[in-house]
Amino acid sequence: MYVEMLTVPDCPNGPMLRERLTHALAGRTDVELTEHVVDDQTEAERRGMHGSPTLLVDGRDPFAVPGTAASVSCRLYRGTDGRVGGAPSVEELRRVLATPATGGADRAAGRAGRGRLAPIEGGLRAVQQAVLRSFATTGAPPEAAGLESTAEPFGVPAARVLADLAVEDFLTLDDTGRIQAAYPFSATATEHVVQIAGGPTVWSMCAIDALGIPVMLGADAVIASTDPVTGEPVRVEFTGGKTTWEPDTAVVYYGARPDTGPAAAVCCGYLRFFTGHATAEQWTGQHADISGAVLDQAEAERLGADIFGSLPTVPAQ
Q: Angle 158-167/124-138 helices, nearest 10 degrees?
A: 90
The model's pLDDT over 75-106, given as tens digits with 9 standing for 90+, comes to 999 887 788 999 999 999 988 887 544 444 45
β-partners of residue 173 are 179
The model's pLDDT over 217-231, given as tens digits with 9 standing for 90+, comes to 999 999 999 999 999
Cα–Cα nearest to 178, from 194, 193, 192, 158: 158
The model's pLDDT over 249-306, given as tens digits with 9 standing for 90+, comes to 999 998 887 766 788 888 889 899 999 999 999 998 888 778 788 899 998 998 888 7
Q: Angle 14-24/90-97 helices, nearest 10 degrees?
A: 60
The mean pLDDT of 159-172, rounded to a whole number, is 94
3-state secondary structure of 316: coil
| Same-domain pairing of 203 and 281 | yes
Residue 41 sits in which domain range? 2-99
| Same-domain pairing of 95 and 127 | no
Q: How far is 171 from 100, CA to CA, in rounded Å?
A: 28
∠ CA 99-234-299, rounded to 5°: 15
Task: Name the pTM for this structure.
Answer: 0.69
Report the domain count for the chain: 3
Domain boundary among 182, 210, 226: 182
The type of residue at 22 is T
| Same-domain pairing of 198 and 290 | yes
In a domain, 266, yes or no: yes
User: What is the domain-level CATH number for residue 22?
Assistant: 3.40.30.10
| Same-domain pairing of 227 and 295 | yes
Cα–Cα nearest to 182, from 219, 145, 216: 216
Whether 127 and 161 have beta carbons less than 8 Å apart is answered as yes
For 300: left if phi > 0, alpha if psi spans -120 to 50, otherwise beta; the answer is alpha
